[in-house]
Amino acid sequence: MRERWIPSAVLAALVAATAAAVALALLVISVGAPPTQADSSQEAEMRAIARELACPVCQGLSVADSPSPLAAEMRAVILQKLDQGETRDQIIAYFVDRYGESILFSPPKRGFTLLIWWVPFLALAAGMAIVGVCLYHWLRAGRAHRPGAGPGDGPGAGVEAEALRDPELAAYLPRLEAELRRWREATR
């Protein structure tokens, strides 16, 4: 009964070969690209800063992505300031001074806006706690209900035959039959 779940050696080799081919394809795609020559490091830096600023006129686009003339001018200003040696923080502070905090594409991690970062984290933690509590209750109830059965082998045809041979599985047989009966009685 257990053999059918082991893939044949041939299939295993095929799977491994496919995986290797996939891996090689991916690596060639992504790794083989030499670094862009046109994008100097200062431009890359400008783009990185521009990605952190929201374009004031086009909704939802960063200054890096926006096609508007205002965004173009902002990018030029960033480059100019980088030339003059200003740091990322200074440049961002300049824009916040000019346009208010809403220019930041991501809310700053302080003050009220810290809330935006904390709430999802707390919600997820609360969710995990709830799931944990539920699992605990349900598992405890399950254990109380069962007469110490051993590990099963999962679903499959021929359970009945196996159960007759295996006393551990016999405990499941009445439950299985009850559920099958219920299943048949109802519409799907």
Partner 1 sequence: MDLGLADAGLIASFLAFSLAIYQLAATIVGYRWSLPALLRSARNAALGNAALLLYLVLTLLVALERHDFSIAYVAEVSSRSMPWSVTVTSLWGGQPGSLLLWTCGLAVFSAVAVWRAYRDAPALAPFAGATLAAIQAFFLFLVTFVSSPFTRLPVPALDGVGLNPLLWDDGMFIHPPLLLTGFMSFSLPFAFVVAGLLAGRLDRAWLARVRRWALVAWGIQGAGLLAGMWWAYHVLGWGGYWGWDPVENAALLPWLCATAFLHSVQVQERRGMLKAWNVALIVAAFALSIFGTFIVRSGIITSVHSFALSAVGPYFFAFLGIVLAGSLGLLLYRLPLLRSEGEFDTLLSRESSFLVNNLLLVGIAAATFWGTVFPALSEALRGARVAVGAPFYQQVNGPLLLVVLLLMGLGPLLAWRRTSPGRLWRLLRWPLATWAGVSLVLLAFGLRPGLAAFAFGACAFVAVATLLELWHGAAVRRRSTHEAWPVAFWMLMARDRRRYGGYIVHLAMVLIAAGAIGQASFQQEAATTLPRGGSVAVGRYRLTFEGLFERRLPDLDIVLAHLRVQQDGREIALMEPERRTHRGWEQQPTTGVAIHTTWPWLDDLYVLLTGWQADGSATFRIIVNPLVSFIWLGALLFLAGTLIAGWPERARLARPAGRPSMAVVPARGPSLQPAAPEVVLSDA
Partner 2 sequence: MSVEQHAQGMAPVAPAALPAEATRGGRIAIGVAGAVIVGLMLLLGVKLALDAGWVQRAGSPAGAGGVISNGQAALPAFKTAPEVRLELFSGGSLRLSDLRGRPVVVNFWASWCPPCRDEAPVLSRLWAEYQEKGIVFLGVDTWDTEQEARRFAATFAITYPAGIAKGNAAAVDYGITGLPETFFIDGRGTIVRKWIGPLSEPVARRYLDELLAAGSS
Among 50, 54, 56, 159, binds partner 2 (CB under 8 A): 56
Applying CB under 8 A, does 4 fall inside the site for partner 1? yes
Give which of partner 2, partner 1, none residue 76 binds (C-beta under 5 to 8 Å, depending on kind).
partner 2
Applying CB under 8 A, does 5 fall inside the site for partner 1? yes
Q: Which one, 1 or 141, has the nearer CB to partner 2?
A: 141
Residue 42's contacts (CB-CB under 8 Å, 6 or more residues apart) are: 79, 82, 83
3-state secondary structure the chain: CCHHHCCCHHHHHHHHHHHHHHHHHHHHHHHCCCCCCCCCHHHHHHHHHHCCEECCCCCCCECCCCCCHHHHHHHHHHHHHHHCCCCHHHHHHHHHHHHCHHHECCCCCCHHHHHHHHHHHHHHHHHHHHHHHHHHHHHHHHHHHCCCCCCCCCCCCCHHHHHHHCHHHHCCHHHHHHHHHHHHHCCC
Q: Which one, 145 or 165, has the nearer CB to partner 2?
A: 145
- Least Å distance, CB 36 to partner 2, is 26
Interactions with partner 1, residue window 7-26 (CB under 8 A):
7, 11-12, 15-16, 18-20, 22-26
Q: Which one, 91 or 169, has the nearer CB to partner 2?
A: 91
Applying CB under 8 A, does 184 fall inside the site for partner 2? no
Applying CB under 8 A, does 141 fall inside the site for partner 2? yes
Among 76, 128, 133, 173, binds partner 1 (CB under 8 A): 128
Question: Which residues are at the interface with partner 2 (CB under 8 A)?
Answer: 56-57, 69-70, 73-74, 76-77, 80, 97-100, 137-138, 141-142, 145, 178, 182, 186
